[in-house]
Amino acid sequence: MADPVALRSEPLFRLFAFYLRWWAGRRFRAIRLSGLDTDTLPRDRPIIVFGNHPSWWDPATYILLADLRFRGRPGYGPMDQESLGRYGFMARLGIFGIDLHSAVGARRFLSVARRVLAECRGPGGRAVLWVTAEGAFTDPRLRPVRLRPGIAHLAALTPDALLVPLAIEYVFWNESRPELLLRFGTPIEADRTVRAAEWTPRLEQALTATMDALAADSQARDPLRFTRLVRGRVGVGGVYDGWRRLRALLSGRRFVAAHGEEA
């Protein structure tokens, strides 16, 4: 298979991330982040971000986060080989294909992941590996959280890495477009002395705690709990907002498209 390190293009990645910010801004009310301040993560250590997998949007969300919160650190991530075949350009963004249903695919994941974490670095620091650790689309409310074994083996084989849980939800608040809500949890030190079988429950517990914290933030419906990464469109548009705009103009009031203004 092609070498994902040789294929990855930083200029193409930045261009696609720029496009994604525009595209996501037209489809979400906002992209909001809570939890860990990623600026506190050491730049001289590789990072493994492992998250839940609620939606088709997740790989695009990873690309946005890589650009907005880890700029300059080369990012990589696995994808089902068949799916990558439908989106072949993503191989130029650091995405590498694996067979999710075979031992060969598991070995390739570990081989490529260990290589990029050990060797790859950019002006912003060492590489970040992004993993949808549940391995299949899963509702974020489902408990217990179950992870595929590859991430546990990687934690046992990459002693200098930091593992960072990431929770993702796509929810509706007060607007016609949904909110994309994110939360980074507490980093975990990789440790070669811990067996992979012990790593699995440890990582599942960390991701569960992060998902529960994001659920509490989501239920509060309070934008002040989050940092807004991308500001999207508000209002309904079309005839409805046109009529509201006209009424505001005739009454001398300022037109506000949003149904609930943020502080």
* Beta-strand runs (E) in the chain: 30-35, 47-51, 75-80, 95-98, 121-122, 125-126, 128-132, 162-171, 179-184, 188-189, 227-231
Torsion angle, CA of 133/137/142/143, rounded to 10 degrees? -30
What's the pLDDT score for residue 262? Answer: 52
Taking only the tens of pLDDT, the chain with its 263 residues reads: 789 999 999 999 999 999 999 999 999 999 999 999 999 999 999 999 999 999 999 999 999 999 999 999 999 999 988 888 888 889 999 999 998 888 888 999 999 999 999 999 999 999 999 999 998 999 999 999 999 999 999 999 998 999 999 999 999 999 889 999 999 999 999 988 999 999 999 999 999 999 999 999 999 999 999 999 999 976 555 544 455 555 656 666 764 555 555 54
What's the pLDDT score for residue 100? Answer: 80
* Domain residue spans of the chain: 4-232, 234-263
Number of other CB atoms surrounding residue 226 within 10 Å: 21
What's the pLDDT score for residue 238? Answer: 52
| Topology adopted by domain 4-232 | Glycerol-3-phosphate (1)-acyltransferase (3.40.1130)
What's the pLDDT score for residue 176? Answer: 87
State whether the Cα torsion 254-257-258-262 is positive or negative.
negative
d(CA 72, CA 47): 13
Number of other CB atoms surrounding residue 147 within 10 Å: 21
Candidates 47, 49, 48, 71; CA nearest to 124 is 71
What's the pLDDT score for residue 263? Answer: 42
Question: What are the φ and ψ backbone dihedral angles of 9, each rounded to 5 degrees?
Answer: -120, 115
What's the pLDDT score for residue 255? Answer: 47
